[in-house]
Amino acid sequence: MMELLADEHTWLVISFVAFLAVAWRFGKDAILKVLDGRIAEIKKEIQTAETLRIEAQELLAQYQRKHRDAMKDAEKIIADAKKGAEASRKEAEAALAQSMERREAQLQERIKRMEQAAISEIQSYAADLAMKAASKIVSDMLDKKTGDKLVEQSIKDLSTQIH
């Protein structure tokens, strides 16, 4: 056993165990207090992290709802815009068709007036031509005396018709 006491490793082990015993005896409360404080800090950080995680999930759900609502609103706006555009297109087509019908009626009326004017002009021209031809024929066929008699007879017929 003396050899054991003479060995330096033995004294090193004994010194270390004695140090641990003294440190445990006087430093146990301080060490446990530091460890308990650290445990409390870690628990607090875990609770904070859990609270933040829950808040983040709630925010995510809220933003997802808002996104869905915004998408529905956008789809509704697009559908309404398409309906409005279709209604405007139909209205424009109806207005164009009505305008074309009105324009066609105006053109038909104009053509009719032009036809009437042309017919009147042709009739007037034909009457003038007939008068000239008749005058030429009558003047060629009748002499002065017969012409005067015809004029007098026409004047008499005219005066009897008037009265």
Angle among Cα 60, 64, 65 to the nearest 5 degrees reads 120
Average pLDDT over residues 36-63: 97
pLDDT value, residue 1: 60
Is residue 10 within 8 Å of 4, Cβ to Cβ?
A: yes
What is the distance between the alpha carbons of residues 121 and 126, in angstroms, rounded to a whole number? 8
pLDDT of residue 53: 97
Residue 12's pLDDT band (cuts 50, 70, 90): very high
Lowest mean pLDDT segment, chosen from 19-28, 45-54, 117-126, 146-155: 146-155
pLDDT of residue 142: 66
Q: Tell me, rounded to whole angstroms, the distance of Cα 49 from its chain centroid.
A: 47
Identify whether the C-beta of residue 147 lies closer than 8 Å to the C-beta of residue 138.
yes
- What percent of the chain has pLDDT above 90? 55
